[in-house]
A and B are shown apart, each in its own frame.
Chain A
Amino acid sequence: MLSLISSPLAATGFIDAAVMDPTPLQILWFMIIGVLLLGYFVLDGFDLGTGALYPFIAKTDTEKAMVRRSVGPLWDGNEVWLLSGGGALFAAFAPAYATSFSGFYLAIMLVLFGLIARAAAIEFRSLERSLGGFFDAAFFLGSAVPALLFGVAVGNVVQGIPLDVNGDYAGLPLVGLLRPFPLACGLVGLSTMLLQGASWQSLKQPLESEVRARAVRLRRVLLILTLVLFALASVLYFLLVSPVVDFGTFGGILAIIAAALFVVGVIAAFVAQGNGMPATNPVTAKSQDVMSFVAANILPVSLIILTAATLFPYLIPSTGPGPSISVASAGGSELALTVMTIIACIGVPLVLIYHVMVYRTFRGRVTEDEALEY
């Protein structure tokens, strides 16, 4: 019989929290937060990736306007997934939210300044043309830096961080977080988002455009790069974090399935991309671009499942001297979680309906007229 509540990380000697079983509601909220972060990775992934690719795929001012237009109506809604994930973590597991946001203070602030910079850039780039170059750089950096740091943060949590007895981070600010495995995770995350961005641009840019041709060529390169980085992160995981995967746990098995899913995603994306050259027949191009985008999104899905499976039942494993923060030790009260579950039952279906409406409104490839209109 599989043990549900012991972690595949058990072999690694983390300091255990008081031994408690998580309640079903706490487990549900662990999964809901996973879903919210998944929504963020999938949706904001393509627009962060777009920003990080922006200087490389858009050369002329018109091309730049069209690339910005492809995310213009959508990025704000996408970012709300991050705020919801953060809000839900605060609500359901306040100690984990407090420890991670204060422990990763400078990194969190870098993400924050990045997000502010890109919001300003997307908004003001076309309204304040005298600062065009400056806002182009802000859009690029404000996208690339958060795209990299999200993975670094996740890697640090998976590897475990030093916590004191109050549950506060006890390591060095910022530099203490720049360890090999988390950095590799950061690169996997960045590369995945670049792939999502290139796939989105292939889907949204006009058929015959130079931007689409560049994006199509790039998505092949990025796919291979992502696979290589994932392999590197896996090797580092076994070398530096945990030498074994405990198949006696549910999490261990799920982690293996998720890793396999990642590889399946890479193969599916490879197949969907055809010969790797931009198709010119509209029908072929559309099916290729849609399928490539869908396949590329198997990667973030598998990465989130992999992370959740590896972490559970911990939220932030501690390497000492204080105890780890776990789903059970950090979980909110049953009443608070019940209220939140009711709110989620009302809210999540509505949110999905809004998404269908808005994405349908802006379906199809971007046109030049549209991009230059605003």
Chain B
Amino acid sequence: MEVIKDLYLLNSAVKKQWESFLQQHGIDNFNNAETKYLNQTVGLFDEHDQLVGTGSIAQNVMKYVAIEVHGEIHAGVRFNKIISALIQRLDQAQISHYFVFTKIKYVSSFKHIGFHCLAQVPQGALLESGFPTIKNYLAQLSQPNSEQQQVAAIVINANPFTKGHRYLIEKAAQENDLVYVIVVQQNASLFTTPQRLYLVRLGVQDLMNVKVIDGGEYTVSFATFPAYFLTSSDAVIDYQTRLDAQLFKNWFVPALQIKRRYLGTEPTSHTTRLYNDNLQAILQPEVEVLVVPRYQLADGQIVSAFQVRHYLVTQNLEQIARLVPATTFDFIKAHWAILQQRIQKGWHGNGN
């Protein structure tokens, strides 16, 4: 009888065994940025107490799944045991909706146990299972009405909302019947998700044809695009940005009848540049991609949320006032103490 046991990777002997098992099965990315987010790891052991399968959970994402196979019989049985164990642990942690990144060859195994494919690119695929599903998520968004033909979308993190975001949205609002502003949902940012959403809504409330929506777990989230938040190699960024773009094209575009996507250039961010390149390659020609040069102040100063965060760290309110609309500025002033506290608690000013 093969049994599931918890693997405690803090124990270096256990970790070594786990790593060498994964390496034998073609997984060799043990970057600390990846492994330190693993919440739980399980191992499957055979009658001789040999490790024959493993899988891990990082928040709501299954990772590092590998199975030792001798003939076809074991494959399905062991795979299902591992995934069952992971689902059980997710359920205990009250996580009812989860994802997996996997190689193309395992897609059918996951589909066979109820996973749905969200996006697939040559390097791999992203699948989800549990509730609420992407269909549930999209169903609660309001659709364009019949008069709104030209529909555009902008995806922003808005950490925090700046004059640059405002400029991009205003431009899109003038050029389209309806603009969806999709705010990335991720609490890895200095400004929390509710705060970022609030500031975007406040900042565009005079634009009648703009709808601000929460991107849920489907746009640039820890699930779909961890490299946005973690330092990663170009190959990883390329893979994840493709998945993100493909997911947008597969699901958001048809559900909201999106015809255009607006992007801002980001001269200083390598990740954003790769992301923009892949968006153009994947979304076009079905979706027109418009790249709008970054907004600058009259004196040539570039406006970016990164700059704002920099001035928050250096406590320069005067400069912040130049970069953000009054709505954001008032918010920052009112929450100055708590933002400073967050910075002092070790929140570092980099990232996107």
Do A and B bind? no
Interface residues of A (CB under 8 A from B): none
